[in-house]
Amino acid sequence: MLQELKVSQFAIIDHLHIEFQNGLNILSGETGSGKSVLLKSLALLMGEKASSDIIRTGSTQALVEGSFDLKKRPDIKKALDNAGIDTSENTLIVKRVISSGDKSKVYLNGSLSTLHQLRDMVSPMIEVTGNSAPLIEMTGQHDNRNLLSKAYHLDLLDQYAGHFDKRNAYEAKYEQLGVIKSNITAFEKQAQDKSQKLDFLKFQFAELDKLDLDPEVDSQIEAEIKKMKSSHKVLKFITECDDILFSDSDSVISRIKMVQKKSLELLNIDSTLPDKMAALDQASTLIEDTFFSLRKDLSQYQLDAEAMEEKESRLSMIRKIQKKYGPDLNEIQAIFEKMKKEIGDLENSDEHLEGLKKQASLLELELKKMAEELHKTRLKAADKLSDTVNKELLDLNMKGVSFYIQTNKLDHLTSAGNSDVEYLSQISAKDPKRPIAKVASGGELSRILLALKKSVGQSEFPRTYLFDEVDTGVSGNTAEKVGRKLKAIAKGQQVICVTHLPQVAAYGDVHFSIHKTNKKDSVQMDVTELKSKTRIEEIARLISGEKITKTSLAHAEQLLSESR
């Protein structure tokens, strides 16, 4: 619901800040006070195109900003989240900046957006209890596109019929049918070049299958070849160790033994020398153990020419495959598995295609049955709703105007069934029934919408209804009935109503006065929230005109008292 509206440098508005409330918000003012300007600013929040002509004289840009409460609008929050727009505070702030040269910018919660995106979020064409519903629904001289939309007509009828659960089930199956039909089209197109593609895939598959790729093992093959090619260096090192430590006449072991022998010759001179030389025995043992360990692993360093050739041949095949499919062996393996599945699908495509066609045929039969049930319910609901709306229209002083719901059966299925629904109006018994878009004025559309809303009841998603010209040609007892109907619609939602009727204004939960002030070089429009005494005075003005009398004040108090 619309919480706040801020407007600056817009037409005759310098700075304006209105805090709207839930329930029925009344806007009243003298003729020419600027109500149309205020409605124009609200229309901009709904995505209407802006022109630099509306910038206040002497300014370079105009600003319109609206704040919406999204606590009870998970559908809007989801749409905004999907668009990457933050909704963590359960609020949507729409900002329109109109600059000279017809340059305009749109911001949604601070994110630069497009006019199309704004319309989709705030006032989509398809609404009521479907996947989306508007935040503002305006009917009057500025915007009546919702009531003139046949999709909207169908949605309202389905809401009245109370079968949206069945319609949602139908829509889910219809979407499922669409997916199956897309798959059928893809398979039929694929069948045209199936043979050629299958031969090519089998050739590629055979190449990979022959390789029998093992990413974990094959990723090490290059390192193994490198190790094998370097094995002669290890062999040479072991041979050199053998010569230095053992084989040469001047080897390390020979010298150690020579030192030990000479120490024994000096035993009679120093009896402690053998003990001191004991560590050399340990050194000899360590040297022998180390060399034994080297010789034990000697076999793994023996160059196997045949194994070497096999590994190099496999590496060459792997390199060839990598040039075709990429360097990552795991990805190549995944491609291989995908090929296997695709070959299987192609080889069994005829059988699969027949299965899909059978599935689609059965689903179509099921959808036709569901569509028939929906259509029958709509026909009954259309008659009842038409009768109810016509009673409401009589109550709203629209004598001679008759409302009809034309419900024709289509020869094909749509996403909502097989019904073509359109609202018609007949302005007299002599005139033919015509689409309301062609015969209804702004005021009549407002009252038709009012009658519809009263007849259908509240929708799943609360929103802001903006009624303009709803009281055109209405007075007396009818005006009071209009007020009561507006009050009923505003329960749990928000209604903003521009009115000239005191009987309607008295039913408001909050009342704003629009007034214009003439300044030295310009005109300024202001909006003031009326409380107690000032509200009584404004309703008295609506009763008696500019000259407020004791009688009109008393009448105003009585109207306020009776409307509570």
Cβ count near 469 (within 10 Å) = 20
H helix intervals, 349-428: 349-395
Q: Which of 64, 56, 58 is nearest to 104 (CA)?
A: 64
Q: Is the pLDDT of residue 493 over 60?
A: yes
| Overall average pLDDT of the 349-369 stretch | 90
User: What does the pLDDT read at residue 556?
Assistant: 92
**For 89-93, what is the mean pLDDT?**
93
**Comparing 307-321, 432-446, 516-530, 540-554, which segment has the lowest mean pLDDT?**
307-321
The predicted model gives 219-247 an average pLDDT of 73
As a whole number, mean pLDDT of residues 223-249 equals 73
Q: Which range is least confidently modeled, 53-62, 257-266, 289-298, 443-452?
A: 289-298
pLDDT higher than 60, residue 508 = yes
Distances (CA, A) of 154 to 376, 416, 466, 467: 14, 9, 21, 21
Asked whether the predicted pLDDT for residue 377 surpasses 90, the reply is: yes
Residue with tokens 């599945």: 341
Residue (of 483, 451, 510, 461) closest to 129 by Cα position? 461
Beta bridge partners of 15: 8
As to burial, measured by CB atoms within 10 angstroms (0-12 exposed, 13-18 middle, 19+ buried), residue 150 is middle
Most confident of 48-52, 239-243, 374-378: 374-378
**Residue 253 CA, distance from chain mean position:** 83
CA of residue 75 relative to chain centroid, distance: 9
> What's the mean pLDDT in 152-169?
89
Residue-wise DSSP of 38-72: HHHHHHHHTT----GGGBPTT-SEEEEEEEEE-TT
Average pLDDT over residues 170-195: 85
Rounded to an integer, what distance in angstroms lies between the CA atom of residue 426 and that of residue 441?
Answer: 13
pLDDT in tens, 126-139: 343 344 467 777 76
Q: How many helices (H) and strands (E) does the chain have?
A: 21, 15
Q: How many CA atoms lie within 13 A of 527 on its CB side?
A: 28
Is pLDDT above 60 for 227? yes
Report whether pLDDT(95) > 90.
yes
Find the mean pLDDT for residues 539-557. 89
C-alpha closest to that of 29 among 8, 12, 44: 12
Q: Which amino acid is at 408?
A: N
399-417: average pLDDT: 92
Question: For the CA atoms of the chain, what is the radius of gyration?
Answer: 44
Asked if 504 and 473 touch (Cβ cutoff 8 Å), the reply is no
For a pLDDT cut of 70, what percent of the chain falls above it? 88
Question: What is the average pLDDT across 162-167?
Answer: 89
8-state DSSP, 511: E
What pLDDT shows up at residue 127? 40
pLDDT at 352: 78
The per-residue pLDDT of the chain, averaged, comes to: 83
Phi, psi dihedral angles at 25 (to 5 degrees):
-105, 120
Sheet holding 417-426, edge to edge: 402-414, 417-426, 434-435
User: Domains of the chain, with CATH numbers?
Assistant: 2-163+442-563 (3.40.50.300), 198-347 (no CATH)
Residues 6 or more apart whose Cβ sits within 8 Å of residue 461: 72, 73, 75, 129, 133
Question: Confidence class of residue 440 from pLDDT cuts 50, 70 and 90?
Answer: low
Q: What is the pTM of this model?
A: 0.64
Of 47-51, 62-66, 544-548, which one has max mean pLDDT? 62-66
pLDDT of residue 305: 57
Task: Specify burial of residue 115 (Cβ count, 10 A radius: 0-12, 13-18, 19+).
Answer: middle
> pLDDT band for position 30 (50/70/90)?
confident
pLDDT, residue 206, reads: 77
- The pLDDT value recorded for residue 130 is 41
* Chain segment 263-275, per-residue pLDDT in tens: 787 777 887 877 7
CA separation, residue 499 to residues 39, 53, 96, 358 (Å)? 12, 27, 27, 60
Q: What phi and psi values does residue 435 have, to the nearest 5 degrees?
A: -55, 135
Whether the predicted pLDDT of 125 surpasses 50: no
Helix-, strand-, coil-residue percentages of the chain, each rounded to 5: 55, 20, 25
Is the confidence at residue 181, as pLDDT, over 90? yes
pLDDT for position 131: 43
- Would you tell me how many other CB atoms lie within 10 Å of the CB of residue 107? 16
Least confident of 98-112, 444-458, 473-487: 444-458
Rounded Cα–Cα distance for residues 342 and 186 (Å): 14
Question: What pLDDT, on the 0 to 100 scale, is given for residue 384?
Answer: 95
Does the structure show a pLDDT above 90 at 20? yes
Q: Which pLDDT score, from 0 to 100, does residue 94 have?
A: 93
pLDDT of 35 higher than 60: yes
Structure tokens at 521: 């070089």
Q: What is the pLDDT of residue 300?
A: 60
User: Of 88, 176, 151, nearest to 362 (Cα)?
Assistant: 176
| Dihedral (Cα; 274, 278, 280, 281), 10-degree rounding | 110
- Mind giving me the DSSP string for 461-500? S--EEEE-STTTT--HHHHHHHHHHHHHHTTTSEEEEE--
pLDDT at 299: 60
Q: Is residue 497 a contact partner of residue 504, using CB atoms and an 8 Å limit?
A: yes
**Cα distance between residue 411 and residue 113, in whole Å:** 40
Q: What is the DSSP letter of 433?
A: P
Return the percentage of the chain with pLDDT > 90, whole number.
30
* pLDDT at residue 235 is higher than 80: no
Question: For residues 444 and 10, which has the higher predicted lDDT (pLDDT)?
Answer: 10
| 497 CB-contact burial (10 Å; exposed 0-12 / middle 13-18 / buried 19+) | buried
Three-class secondary structure of residue 541 per DSSP: helix
As a whole number, mean pLDDT of residues 360-374 equals 96
Amino acid present at 334 = A
Chain centroid, CA 90 distance in Å: 16
Q: Are strands 103-108 and 91-99 parallel, antiparallel or unpaired?
A: antiparallel
Query: CA torsion 73→79→80→84, rounded to 10°?
Result: 150
**pLDDT reported for residue 145:** 59
State the pLDDT at residue 256.
82
């929906």: which residue's tokens?
A: 374
Q: How confident is the model at residue 279 (pLDDT cuts 50, 70, 90)?
A: confident
Rounded distance between C-alpha atoms, residue 223 and residue 128, angstroms? 68
Give the number of other Cβ atoms within 10 Å of residue 409's Cβ.
14
Lowest pLDDT segment from 41-55, 154-168, 342-356, 541-555: 342-356
- Closest listed residue to residue 366, CA positions, set 185, 184, 180, 128: 180
